[in-house]
Amino acid sequence: MEGIQEPMTRSLHRTLRRAVLEHAASERRRVFLPVLHVGTPGGPQALFAPGPLGATDHGLRTDVVAALLRRTAGAPDERLVWLTRAGDFELQDLDAFWLAAARAAALEAGVPLTMVIVNRHGWWDPRSGAGRTWKRLRDR
């Protein structure tokens, strides 16, 4: 099965929690455009803001993710792809489009893929359904 499986490592749990913390601290508006992140939360990362229409072509989205993967430092198995967006954790078209592109780019690069959707309250893996939410998330 693809995606994050339980039980997850303590390191991965901390990394995903950091992604949620960063997003909650940086995005205070209720409505905002989604942003694709590649890298390490709290560390080096590359961003792409697709705009209101997003990258409408699968090939273009794949090229964007591939370029972001090349731009980020760190071990390939430690890199994370995450899409920050508003809304609940239900599969949206945008999630599916970027997941397909991330899968293709990771396959081309020969690197493992860990991709999650992040909002201000938690994270969710659309492939496995794994996720975490917090009512009051605080930095430790």
Expressed as residue numbers, the domain containing 23 is: 10-88+97-129
Residue-by-residue DSSP string for 73-128: -S-GGG-EEEEE-SS-SS--HHHHHHHHHHHHHHHHHT----EEEEETTEEE-TTT
Number of domains the chain is built from: 1
1 found inside a domain: no
Is 112 inside any structural domain?
yes
| Confidence band of 50 (pLDDT split at 50, 70, 90) | confident
- Residue 37 counted as domain residue: yes
Could you tell me if residue 122 is inside a domain? yes
Average pLDDT, the chain: 89
Q: What is the pLDDT of residue 53?
A: 59
Give a yes or no: residue 136 inside a domain.
no
CB-based contacts of 7, cutoff 8 Å, min separation 6: none
pTM for this predicted structure: 0.90
CA-CA distance, 45 to 47, in Å (whole number)? 7
Q: Is 41 part of any domain?
A: yes
pLDDT digits (tens, 9 = 90+) for 105-116: 999 999 999 999
Segment among 21-30, 45-54, 98-107 with least mean pLDDT: 45-54
Stretch (H or E) spanning 47: strand 45-48
- Interval 72-86: pLDDT, tens: 866 666 789 999 999
d(CA 89, CA 127): 12
Q: At what angle do helices 93-109 and 58-71 cross, to 10 degrees?
A: 60
Residue 103: what pLDDT? 97
Is residue 137 domain-resident?
Answer: no
Residue 139 lies in a domain: no
